[in-house]
Chains A and B, each alone.
Chain A
Amino acid sequence: MASMATASTSLQARPRQMATAVRCFSQGSRNNLSFTLRQLPTRLSVSCAAKPETVDKVCEVVKKQLSLKAGDEVTAATKFAALGADSLDTVEIVMGLEEAFDIEMAEDKAQNIATVEEAAELIEEILKEKA
């Protein structure tokens, strides 16, 4: 089998493109591996830079902490204060997020989180530094 090691070094120079390895089966016993470089679709400019999975997980923690009903909508843009959260709730939400993501948040950053989106972005920043 052809090694992919040599191909991978050239990929790093072009982070916005994704390499797809296509194995071509030809007749006989020989296999060809060829690489095509494919442009990734232009990222939509949305205000939330965090991944949807992170946002969803944050929403779950918030709903649980504030004992929201199933029908209450919580999205990336939702402000904690609009849901009736006070400072004690915010700190409990932070504790819940620390447990859910296995991270620790600096207290001053944590106290300043006002929306789901801000929480998700801060969490991803911390996870990236941890990695």
Chain B
Amino acid sequence: MGEQGELAAEKHVRYIVTAEKKKDSFESLVMEHLRASGAYWGLTTLDLLHKLHAVDAAEVVDWIMSCYHPESGGFGGNVGHDPHVLYTLSAVQVLCLFDRLDVLDADKIADYITGLQNEDGSFSGDIWGEVDTRFSYISICTLSLLHRLHKINVEKAVEYIVSCKNLDGGFGAMPGGESHAGQIFCCVGALAITGSLHHIDRDLLGWWLCERQCRDGGLNGRPEKLADVCYSWWVLSSLIIIDRVHWIDKEKLAKFILNCQDKENGGISDRPDNAVDIYHTYFGVAGLSLMEYPGVKPIDPAYALPLDVVNRIFLTKQQ
């Protein structure tokens, strides 16, 4: 590959580490309410690039725990923000990276999530009741990482996810919702973690997913929309889970992702020549990881954490 087709790993590491420190930058302000997720995106990227040690682990763990609400068992997006499952998963994932699950009251967190499961098997995001298959994935993923998946009604959870399956083989946010790659990742990931992939028509969904590849090599999230680097994750991980990733042109996708880099200042954007952000930087690197790009650690497609982190959680003695 020529100079154009290289991953500017050092630049991306510097971009992330600097962004983490600049708490009053524009990007920081815009991200304020979801800083916990920002931490997950940034830190996982660092780990994938073998640079997790570039940040102070103790400092990060302390900050994450300052987002914890001991009364409810959930984490907020930032210090003082109300708890929500979105940030609870991000917090648990960050602690997984640093192998610090010991600081958690796993039972209390499990209770928080269990309390958010509804009668029809769906999950609310928080006490205000919004329902979305994203929250099904988040709840299942979090509990699985904490070895407490059995605390929810798994059968009903799976039932609800399957009710969101559309005729094209894809999944929406709720029954009848348009198939969307992000929602598909959540449903496929959740079904994978719960051992329920037999509910998926792999050939049908695999075809819908591989149809996301556009002429420029990038992937979109729904028919007739533009390619966006984040779908390099949502579509690719889904394809890998259902064992159909060979149905896209991986080389062209890798070229697309690499073209979305800011090779001067670091970071990756949604499409070439746009402004970079932490979110797309993570998804670009994660996508390259799924395609075994040299120098990038392998990532688990269902848990969205480096493979060695996931192995450490599941192959060593349970807590």
The answer to whether A and B come from one shared complex is: no
B residues bordering A, Cβ < 8 Å? none
A residues bordering B, Cβ < 8 Å? none
